[in-house]
Structure 1
Amino acid sequence: MSDFYINVVQHGNQLLVREFDKGKRVNRRVTFEPTLYVHSRKNSKWKTLEGRSVEPVRFKSIRDAKDFLNMHQNTPELVHGLNSYQYVYIGDRYPDFINWDMEKLLLITLDIEVESENGFPDAQKAEEKLLCITVKNHSNKAIIVWGIGPYVNDKVRYIECENELDLIKKFIQFWHKTQPDVITGWNVQFFDIPYLCNRITRLLGEKELKKLSPWGIVKEDTVKQTQFGKAQQKYNLLGVSVLDYLDLYRKFTYVNRESYRLDYIAEVELGEKKDPNPYETFREWYTKDYKSFVDYNIQDVELVDKLEDRMKLIELCMTLAYEAKVNLIDVYSPIRVWDVLIYNFLKDKHIVIPSKRVSKKDEKYEGAYVKEPQTGLHNWVMSFDLNSLYPHLIMQYNISPETVAAEGNGDVSVDKMLKQVVDIPQDGYAVTPNGARFRTDAQGFLPNMMETMYNDRVKFKKWSLEAKQKFEDTQDKRYLNDISKYNNIQMARKIALNSAYGAIGNQYFRYYDRRIATAVTTSGQLAIRWIENKVNGYLNKLLDTTDVDYIIASDTDSIYVRFDELVSKLNPKNPVDFLDKVAKEKIEPYITKCYEELAEYVNAYEQKMEMAREVIADKGIWTAKKRYILNVHDS
């Protein structure tokens, strides 16, 4: 029987814990006794990142630990340890792999409909009456609707209410008794939940509002929602995780859509559309045809539920959270995820983390390299991609907070390193194009983590593919769970790896160091420009040309190479097969050789650049940076 946490929050002097204990769901208030660490002259099993001994200082309460930290606020370097104690609790209580079960969690999809007597309703003012509330249980697919007016539908449980006040009271009664773990919906974070909270407060007062939280604690907050460019109100129902499906879709699909209306996304992803409004106005609809209006409300929760069945973004979010041992809502923050990942990784090695300090970000620094493309039409294009560039750069140069040298390498730049005019001494330090130097006598914790996570990702991806093959061979449905589980784990590792630089380059990250942040970006520029130059040289020699630029475009970790001249010269019967063979037998081995030369030049800890052919296209059109279209034959 597997136990796992549902939600752990720090509130005042206590931790509010929701978890499964011996298979039973429990809510408990924990009086937590924190431990921090201070420098010690005695040899100790606990060390700092620099290898200095520290000894534990135990406190009777969170308040005592907070007072101790306040005493040392001017000398934070003397105190070590994580003071977000909910994550300390999770890490201590669940030290091993967490075998969580989505079926045990109560995931509710929520959607409300309100009157629109005065245009689109304002969630913060909540002046319009609630017309109906619909929820759907993701596990058993049961739908409950609270409405005002007659409605019959055998597929849902409909609760007819006398008026709006009766509707709200009955909904609160259900919610308080049921205590959901996770709420989702489409824009539920910034409309449905704040509207409900504000309307409940307006009509029944804050006492009733508090029943939406299993702890009786509801906090109002204001956040800047960048896509709309304005501050928006949100509510934190302590103990309940809100995973807005709109936010998940934006974060984890890596595509730009022309619209993010649920109707549009459902059509793109599911091939389904919501029923159109049969009347001129929304008001006419709910006043003249209440039944079809409620059907419309039900469609919203059905579509979000179907999106999850198809895309499994909530399942992916949960996988990432339980891998990192954070709360579900923390997956939106790479800083939080990586802070806790590093804490647990180092704790297992008896290394304590430094106190968190907000660093000053002096000025904006250069990011990835994007070449000005050769605009227009190009024939026979192949692209070559570097594999997980930033994580592998961290591994290659051994980039880590405890490996960076105090002294830099003087006047260094990407251009100078491309020309190999920088004198790099063989003194046990790798050098990056920003002039930073990193020890190579021992692997740093950050590249160690990257390597472990990357290798695990490869392993789980392989297991997922093997399970898929076994299912196809046997049609045994037992393998379906393995396919989903292993694929989610490998995707969670991929997301964590790809988000690492988002944390490293943020001034609010515990380990932020401008030298480290720019070491990653400038070494990335060097890697892609190095290979651009080398491949150009190779093709000029092969085709007996001089200074012809065969690289149409390059962007961060990819180059797009024109092979039209080679195809025209040799006129192969099947150009796609021919180019595939050229890539495998000639270009890729040459690229590997060139990256080995780069690794040797910069004194790399190890050569980690892996570049492989991605697509073969017979035509490609570029109009500007990052604006192109390819007619792909093989990828």
Structure 2
Amino acid sequence: FIQSEHALRAKILLKPLSNFRIAKVELKTFNNNPVHAVYFKSHRTSRDARNLLESNGIICWEADIRPHERYLMERFITAGAIIDDESSTKKNPFLNPRLAPAEYRPELKLLSLDIETSMTASELFSIGVWTAHDRKVFMVGAETPSTHSVTTVDIQYFDSQLSCLQNFLKWFSEYDPDVIIGWSVVQFDLWVLETLCKKLGINFAIGRADQSAHWRQEEGDGRRYIVIPGRVALDGIELLKAANFHYESYSLQYVSEAILGSGKLLHGSGRGEDIARLFAEDKQSLAEYNLRDCELVWDIFIQKKLLHFAVERSQLTGLLLDRVGGSVAAFEYSYLPRLHRRGYVAPNMGELESDVVSPGGYVMNSQPGIYDNILVLDFKSLYPSIIRTFLIDPCAFWIAEHEQLPEDAIVPGFNGAHFAREGHILPQMIENLSAARDVAKKQKNASKRILIILLRIDGIC
């Protein structure tokens, strides 16, 4: 969006670019100025246009919203969707279908994955897989004598890393999981498998329809992200943190003992050397160790309902199942379409900054001593309750300011601010989340942690 007074100049500046149009829309800025919308047929052209306009002093609003996310959020589609296309056929399944939100919870097929490698991760030892109906280990090398006379582990031996990877990928395609789970499964397991496949000239095609995975790596901390067509990879560590579970250590050994009361078959500082020794001398024991890690991750996901948490979070917020963090993105996903229906576009970061500092809550001085009886009073969701009581909301503030509402139509706030009694967004959002949180608490399910996190909305606003 750009200010309407700049529309003609923007059209001239963007003339070298193709496939765009500028149109008047019934929206305005927080300063009550009308805006035009600029439409593009490609995301790349949109980014180029934004840089061109801003370099010429024309402010762009909501230019950082990705097109597909805008399309979905404006239709209030979060996770589930109804696809309506009467013209669909087998040859042409969907052509510009109509989409609508749906409360759909699919039964997702899980695969717990863990690999064992040399200490430098340059050599593959084994790949363990654990599903609801199948548990096995793909092992590199010939079978070795074991200290165990009998094992229940299904071990498949292959004469080379190449053969092991090829057979794993064949099994993977046939099993066709929806979700891959693990412990550092993106940062280590999948990344190492991708690296080894490249080294051996194999296409790491773990996406549906034999499509390859796509990687992105942050420049700062080097964190990796993976997009798998038709599937998703969920890391146990990231999900536990997102669901507000706190542990002194997030190692699989520590967390599994805390949650399940049992841990890995090998642990400690010399584990790397032990794994290499087992690979050389006792592959059966290595397979049992490998598969045990898969089982622990599987049981943690079941025990803490982490997949349920991820699905409910996605259904509630619009965040992708594997999205790490994203509380601000979740807020924007819900708030922006409602703001547009009130006739406003969102301001850019920094445009609403003020030197006025809120005084915050009053903290009484303590009286040190030893007391027989202690009464603890804790206000339930203090800041969200204040927001609901005084109807604190950016949109309500702009409505009160721009429409010059009478006193009986506004609620006075801090530092001379006023908020409209009608047309506010944030208080209603919090009310809905509060009700959902209460239901989730009664049900004692993991989704209540989503709501607790989201109700810390004062930190976002």
Letter in 1 for 2:304: M
1:242 is aligned, of 207, 227, 233, to 233
1:290 is aligned, of 264, 283, 290, to 283
1:396 is aligned, of 369, 385, 389, to 389
Cα distance change, pair 501–39 in 1 and its aligned pair in 2 (3 A): farther
Aligned pairs for 1:3-22 (under 5 A) are none
Q: Is 2:385 aligned against 1:382? A: no
Report deviation, 1:236: 1.8
Report deviation, 1:310: 1.2
Q: Is 2:319 aligned against 1:322? A: no
Aligned equivalents of 1:369, 1:238: Cα separation in 2:
50
- Cα contact 1:77–1:355 (8 A) shared by 2: no
Aligned pairs for 1:372-451 (under 5 A) are 377-404=370-397, 428=410, 430-432=412-414, 435=415, 437-442=417-422, 444-451=424-431
Q: Is 2:129 aligned against 1:135? A: yes
Equivalent position of 2:10 in the other structure:
none
TM-score computed with the length of structure 2 as normaliser: 0.72
Q: Is 2:53 aligned against 1:72? A: yes
Aligned pairs for 1:30-179 (under 5 A) are 39=24, 44=26, 58-73=39-54, 77=59, 79=61, 83-91=65-73, 92=75, 94=81, 97-103=101-107, 105-116=108-119, 121=120, 126-127=121-122, 129-137=123-131, 140-148=132-140, 149-150=142-143, 157-175=154-172
Report deviation, 1:322: 1.8
Aligned equivalents of 2:42, 2:326: Cα separation in 1:
28
Equivalent position of 2:330 in the other structure:
337
Letter in 1 for 2:129: V
Q: Is 2:218 aligned against 1:218? A: no
- Cα contact 2:397–2:417 (8 A) shared by 1: yes
Deviations 1:244-272 (A, max 9, x none): 111222232343x2332212211211222
Deviations 1:61-103 (A, max 9, x none): 4344444434432556565577312213334464655333341
Deviations 1:190-209 (A, max 9, x none): 222222233333333xx624
Aligned equivalents of 1:377, 1:308: Cα separation in 2:
44
Report deviation, 1:312: 0.5
Deviations 1:129-175 (A, max 9, x none): 111111223xx342232112439988655332112222122223344
Report deviation, 1:113: 0.8
- Cα contact 1:146–1:159 (8 A) shared by 2: yes
**Any idea what SS the aligned residue of 2:203 has?**
helix
Aligned equivalents of 1:208, 1:292: Cα separation in 2:
30
Report deviation, 1:35: 10
Deviations 1:556-585 (A, max 9, x none): xxxxxxxxxxxxxxxxxxxxxxxxxxxxxx
Q: Identify which range, 288-297 or 487-496, moves more after superposition.
A: 487-496
2:256 is aligned, of 262, 266, 272, to 266
- Cα contact 1:81–1:353 (8 A) shared by 2: no
**Any idea what SS the aligned residue of 1:329 has?**
coil
Report deviation, 1:396: 2.7
- Cα contact 1:110–1:136 (8 A) shared by 2: yes
Deviations 1:14-55 (A, max 9, x none): xxxxxxxxxxxxxxxxxxxx9998655xxx4x5666776656
Equivalent position of 1:305 in the other structure:
298
Deviations 1:81-128 (A, max 9, x none): 77312213334464655333341x333221111123xxxx4xxxx33x
Cα distance change, pair 373–252 in 1 and its aligned pair in 2 (3 A): farther
Equivalent position of 1:4 in the other structure:
none
Equivalent position of 1:493 in the other structure:
451
Structure 2 residues without counterparts, runs of 5 or longer: 1-18, 82-98, 402-406
**Any idea what SS the aligned residue of 1:266 has?**
helix
Cα distance change, pair 437–102 in 1 and its aligned pair in 2 (3 A): same
Q: Identify which range, 275-284 or 166-175, moves more after superposition.
A: 275-284
- Cα contact 2:301–2:307 (8 A) shared by 1: yes
**Any idea what SS the aligned residue of 1:134 has?**
strand
Cα distance change, pair 47–189 in 1 and its aligned pair in 2 (3 A): same
**Any idea what SS the aligned residue of 1:113 has?**
strand
Cα distance change, pair 450–67 in 1 and its aligned pair in 2 (3 A): same
Aligned equivalents of 2:137, 2:379: Cα separation in 1:
51
Aligned equivalents of 2:277, 2:380: Cα separation in 1:
56
Give the fraction of aligned pairs with identical amino acids, expressed as a percent. 21
Letter in 2 for 1:251: A
**Any idea what SS the aligned residue of 2:218 has?**
strand
Equivalent position of 2:345 in the other structure:
353
Cα distance change, pair 160–405 in 1 and its aligned pair in 2 (3 A): same
Cα distance change, pair 90–324 in 1 and its aligned pair in 2 (3 A): same
Aligned equivalents of 2:63, 2:183: Cα separation in 1:
38
Letter in 1 for 2:125: L
- Cα contact 2:437–2:451 (8 A) shared by 1: yes
Aligned equivalents of 2:426, 2:218: Cα separation in 1:
34
Report deviation, 1:306: 0.9
Cα distance change, pair 384–86 in 1 and its aligned pair in 2 (3 A): same
Q: Is 2:437 aligned against 1:457? A: yes
Report deviation, 1:383: 1.2
Deviations 1:485-522 (A, max 9, x none): xx455553333223x23433xxxxxxxxxxxxxxxxxx
Letter in 2 for 1:264: Y
**Any idea what SS the aligned residue of 1:328 has?**
coil
- Cα contact 1:135–1:144 (8 A) shared by 2: yes
Q: CA RMSD in A?
A: 4.1
Cα distance change, pair 329–75 in 1 and its aligned pair in 2 (3 A): farther
Aligned equivalents of 1:89, 1:342: Cα separation in 2:
14
- Cα contact 2:28–2:345 (8 A) shared by 1: no
Aligned equivalents of 1:362, 1:49: Cα separation in 2:
15
Aligned equivalents of 1:191, 1:376: Cα separation in 2:
52
Aligned pairs for 1:176-187 (under 5 A) are 180-187=177-184
- Cα contact 1:97–1:323 (8 A) shared by 2: no
Aligned equivalents of 1:441, 1:163: Cα separation in 2:
71
- Cα contact 2:118–2:125 (8 A) shared by 1: yes
Equivalent position of 1:18 in the other structure:
none
Letter in 1 for 2:70: V
Cα distance change, pair 37–154 in 1 and its aligned pair in 2 (3 A): farther
